[in-house]
Amino acid sequence: MTDGPRNPHAGAPFTDGDAAIAAALDDVSVPALLCSLVHMTGDPSWIRGEARPRVATATDFQSAMPKEWLADVRARALPAIAAYRDGGCEPKALSRELVWEMMEFVAAAPVNEERGTMMLHDLALDGGDPDAITWGDDINETAKQAAHTVVIGAGESGLLAAIRLAQAGVPFTMVEKLDGPGGTWRHNRYPGARVDVGSHHYCYSFEPAEHWSEYFCRQPELLDYFTRILDKHELRPHCRFNTEVTAAVWDDEAARWRVHLRDADGNDDVIDARFVISAVGALSLPRLPDIPGIDTFAGPAFHSTKWPADLDIRGKRVALVGAGATGFQIAPTIVDDVERLMIFQRTAQWMFPNPVYHAPVPEGDRWAMRHLPFYGRWFRFLMIWPGIGIGVESYRRDPAFDDSDGQAINPMSARRREALTQWITMQLDGRPDLVEKSVPPYPPMAKRILQDNGSWLGALKKPNVDFVRTPIERIDATGIVTSAGEHYDADILCFATGFRHVEYLAPIDFTGRDGVSLREQWGDEPTAHLGITMPNFPNLFCLYGPGTNLAHGASIIFHSECQMRLAMDAIHEVLQHDATSIEVRSDVHDDYAARYVGEIGQMVWAHASVEHSHYKNRNGKIFTLSPWPIETYWAWTRTVDPQEYVIR
């Protein structure tokens, strides 16, 4: 027996009988189970046999292993698990080399040093939270208490910031314009809202993940998760809900931010902060289309973020304008309740087949996550790895590849196009009219790829659906008129038309050193060093800032953890040196921005064949997405390099 508290990832000891265990094994991911068996037995032969993952994909938890292998492993696992149970549920210590071999086993490929180091950190098999703040005595307590910090926003990144500040003992206030935590998951309550990054990956690395009821959870469960995080970490006393930050002004002499607030009743207040952490998200400002007559519609008309809680759609004619990530979720959810659904999609969207998109996590898999040692961590690895392992190179335009027809940007992109087109045509068999409307005229991945378990394409085929690709000319009191002169009568209009992505930190006015306005400094081309810090704006850190949205690789929470680690290290740097401010050097920022622009322009997202994209600014340039390999960004955000900043 080991002393001290049990490693939280080791699973709770259990006494379940063999029959119950055998039943649970039917539901588990066998690659994750094999890794857990190594932990249970200390015997590496579990991962050295014939039964091994053939390919890592985030939507097949058996990694394409044939059925006979799965059955064989399950049969051999039962006595080993029973022996582990009977022996008191004590996992064996494993060497780093063996864990590395296990990573390569699940990845079904070699894992290079940079990625492996990052993934070991994320696995955190020792049960700790490697990014938890554990500052030593080098920080003067008075300086720390004078470092009151304002966190703007209580979504995933704001909560993370609050957790880290609380660990550091830095006083802080979290200001949130909504009436509670959860950010996007409080804001977006439209029918069918769910995460499209795997739940066991779309969560904090240091929090348990065995509770998820679906592999891609729905909005109420996500909202509940973030609310529980707030309470578990006792953050509520630090919160000011229903309060908006309207402006923040840097006082250089005092080295403090004056943060201007307005509550829901219109009362103004100003609070002082040494540091400000912007956690406002990047997809929160609704974008309504500029369609003539939009205000003349007689019935309910609203942006998807404003879906009325009491809206009765039964038997109604609903016009859905926009079919990106949001529209893709709304349409299949409401199609069977409405009399008629008219979907107006301006540009076709690529989607990949995801058979587990709406799947519940079966009881056996949840049992395994609760009890089998490190099973949950390996399951998380299995979900994260496919995005990270593929890297960003497949998103890069190959200069030797002819992409002038907008079909593909490199050989892999061409293969992707073929496979994705095949899925669309198969699902729409017998409906060439729908196939023609559904195959995009731009390379795969150039807009955010969506996913479908058949429900989106299935909805298009329903007799009560009009799938309209003719441009909208205007809206009148009774419906929508297209440029072909057709009139679509509607009772309800929903605009799933997305967000003003490029307007970072809007509508807050930030005024930095020497009265510089952040809005003016950025214009249409927002940049920040590592997406986090800007010259002229000391002590201001962005989470999910310019150039950090991920259309490849990992979850946004993973990225927030990187950004918050750097922000906390910067704060530590200031306090440790008895200083009061830290500001990125202009030349460092400019060099990073130039490298960013050079890199992003080569990527598929910048392809000229994409006419409309929330990634692009009005001139077609991108300042929203990260072009960097995840492991590179992770390494860059490990610690602050003091040479890159002015610390006063």
Q: HEC profile for 263-297?
A: ECCCCEEEEEECEEEECCCCCCCECCCCCCCHHHC
Three-class secondary structure of residue 97 per DSSP: helix
Angle (CA) 145-148-154 rounded to 5° is 135
Least separation, in Å, of the C-beta of 453 and ligand NAP? 13
Nearer to ligand NAP, 344 or 379 (CB): 344
Q: Does 612 bind ligand NAP (CB under 6 A)?
A: yes
Nearest to 584 by CA among 542, 630, 633: 542
Nearer to ligand NAP, 10 or 351 (CB): 351
Report yes or no: 306 and 430 within 8 Å, Cβ to Cβ.
no
User: Cβ atoms within 10 A of the Cβ of 445, count?
Assistant: 23
Which among 188-196, 254-262, 459-467, 567-575 is the span making contact with ligand NAP, rule CB under 6 A? 188-196
Nearer to ligand NAP, 153 or 322 (CB): 322
Report yes or no: 501 and 550 within 8 Å, Cβ to Cβ.
no
Nearer to ligand NAP, 372 or 420 (CB): 420
User: Which phi and psi angles does 456 have, rounded to 5°?
Assistant: -70, -55
Residues 117-156 within binding reach of ligand NAP (CB under 6 A): none
Centroid of chain to Cα 266: 33
Nearer to ligand NAP, 472 or 568 (CB): 472
Least separation, in Å, of the C-beta of 566 and ligand NAP? 23
Nearer to ligand NAP, 287 or 513 (CB): 287
Nearer to ligand NAP, 154 or 321 (CB): 321
How far apart (Å, rounded) are the C-alpha atoms in residues 239 and 44? 49
Helix or strand run (H / E) with residue 480 = strand 479-482
Nearer to ligand NAP, 201 or 448 (CB): 448
Residues 456-515 within binding reach of ligand NAP (CB under 6 A): 472, 496-499
Nearer to ligand NAP, 148 or 448 (CB): 448
Least separation, in Å, of the C-beta of 202 and ligand NAP? 8
Nearer to ligand NAP, 144 or 448 (CB): 448
Least separation, in Å, of the C-beta of 152 and ligand NAP? 20
Nearest residue (beta carbon) to ligand NAP: 324
Least separation, in Å, of the C-beta of 349 and ligand NAP? 7
Q: Which DSSP string corresponds to 504-568? A: TTTT-EEE-GGG-BHHHHHTT----BTTTB-TT-TTEEESS-TT-B-SSSS-HHHHHHHHHHHHH
Q: Across the strands, what pairs with 175?
A: 152, 240
The only residue of 334, 614, 622, 633 in contact with ligand NAP, by rule CB under 6 A: 614
How far apart (Å, rounded) are the C-alpha atoms in residues 615 and 187? 21
Least separation, in Å, of the C-beta of 54 and ligand NAP? 28
Least separation, in Å, of the C-beta of 218 and ligand NAP? 10
Q: Across the strands, what pairs with 268?
A: 262
Helix%, strand%, coil% for the chain, nearest 5: 35, 15, 45
Least separation, in Å, of the C-beta of 502 and ligand NAP? 12
The only residue of 195, 229, 342, 424 in contact with ligand NAP, by rule CB under 6 A: 195
How far apart (Å, rounded) are the C-alpha atoms in residues 437 and 82? 55
Nearer to ligand NAP, 436 or 591 (CB): 436
Which among 85-93, 341-349, 353-361, 401-409 is the span making contact with ligand NAP, rule CB under 6 A? 341-349
Sequence-ordered strand ranges (E) for 252-390: 256-263, 268-273, 275-278, 301-303, 317-321, 340-344, 351-353
Nearer to ligand NAP, 25 or 384 (CB): 384
What x-and-dash track marks residues 393-432 binding ligand NAP by CB under 6 A? ----------------------------------------
Least separation, in Å, of the C-beta of 613 and ligand NAP? 7
Least separation, in Å, of the C-beta of 67 and ligand NAP? 31
What x-and-dash track marks residues 257-286 binding ligand NAP by CB under 6 A? --------------------------x---
Burial class (CB in 10 A: 0-12, 13-18, 19+), 477: exposed
DSSP character at residue 496: -
Residues 6+ apart with CB under 8 A from 200: 209, 212, 215, 376, 379, 380, 383
The only residue of 114, 196, 466, 525 in contact with ligand NAP, by rule CB under 6 A: 196
User: Which phi and psi angles does 567 have, rounded to 5°?
Assistant: -60, -45
How far apart (Å, rounded) are the C-alpha atoms in residues 174 and 181? 10
Nearer to ligand NAP, 111 or 283 (CB): 283
How far apart (Å, rounded) are the C-alpha atoms in residues 371 and 375? 8
Nearer to ligand NAP, 91 or 444 (CB): 444
Residues 345-364 within binding reach of ligand NAP (CB under 6 A): 345-347
Residues 158-187 within binding reach of ligand NAP (CB under 6 A): none
Size of the site for ligand NAP (CB under 6 A): 24
How far apart (Å, rounded) are the C-alpha atoms in residues 125 and 176? 34
Q: Which two tokens stand for residue 505?
A: 């930190």
Residues 281-340 within binding reach of ligand NAP (CB under 6 A): 283, 289-290, 321-327
Nearer to ligand NAP, 321 or 383 (CB): 321
Residues 534-563 within binding reach of ligand NAP (CB under 6 A): none
Three-class secondary structure of residue 386 per DSSP: helix
How far apart (Å, rounded) are the C-alpha atoms in residues 447 and 551? 8
Least separation, in Å, of the C-beta of 472 and ligand NAP? 6
Least separation, in Å, of the C-beta of 396 and ligand NAP? 21
The only residue of 186, 187, 200, 448 in contact with ligand NAP, by rule CB under 6 A: 448
Q: Which two tokens stand for residue 21?
A: 């265990």
Which among 193-201, 230-238, 432-440, 508-516 is the span making contact with ligand NAP, rule CB under 6 A? 193-201
Q: Does 194 bind ligand NAP (CB under 6 A)?
A: yes
Three-class secondary structure of residue 155 per DSSP: coil
Q: Does 59 bind ligand NAP (CB under 6 A)?
A: no
Provide the binding-site residues for ligand NAP, judged by CB under 6 A: 194-196, 283, 289-290, 321-327, 345-347, 448, 472, 496-499, 612, 614
